């Protein structure tokens, strides 16, 4: 049973990657970029308005 390729605990070969973590990291990065862009534009427009 140790050499069974269907066993998720196998040590040899490449372990199966979890796509859920990659998707969640991608979503977090996109949300942070959107919030950063909105804040940057708001601060820039406030400076232009104040001048």
Instruction: Note the pLDDT tens digit of each residue in 15-44.
Output: 667 789 899 999 999 999 999 999 999 999
Question: Domain count of the chain?
Answer: 1
9-39 in b/e form (b: 16+ CB < 10 A) is eeeeeeeeeeeeeeeeeeeeeeeeeeeeeee
First-to-final CA distance of the chain: 73
The verdict on residue 34 lying in a domain is yes
Confidence grade of residue 1 (pLDDT, cut at 50, 70, 90): very low
Nearby residues of 15 by Cβ (< 8 Å), 6 or more positions away:
none
The verdict on residue 18 lying in a domain is no
Q: Give the C-alpha separation, 36 to 28, whole Å.
A: 12
Give me the domain span that covers residue 32: 23-51
Q: Give the C-alpha separation, 27 to 29, whole Å.
A: 5
The verdict on residue 41 lying in a domain is yes
- 3 pLDDT above the threshold of 70: no
Confidence grade of residue 46 (pLDDT, cut at 50, 70, 90): confident
């Amino acid at each position: 049973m140790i050499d069974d390729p269907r066993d998720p605990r196998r040590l040899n070969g490449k372990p199966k990657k979890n796509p859920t973590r990659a998707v969640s990291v991608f979503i977090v990065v996109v949300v942070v970029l959107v919030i950063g862009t909105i804040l940057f534009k708001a601060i820039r427009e406030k400076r232009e308005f104040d001048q």
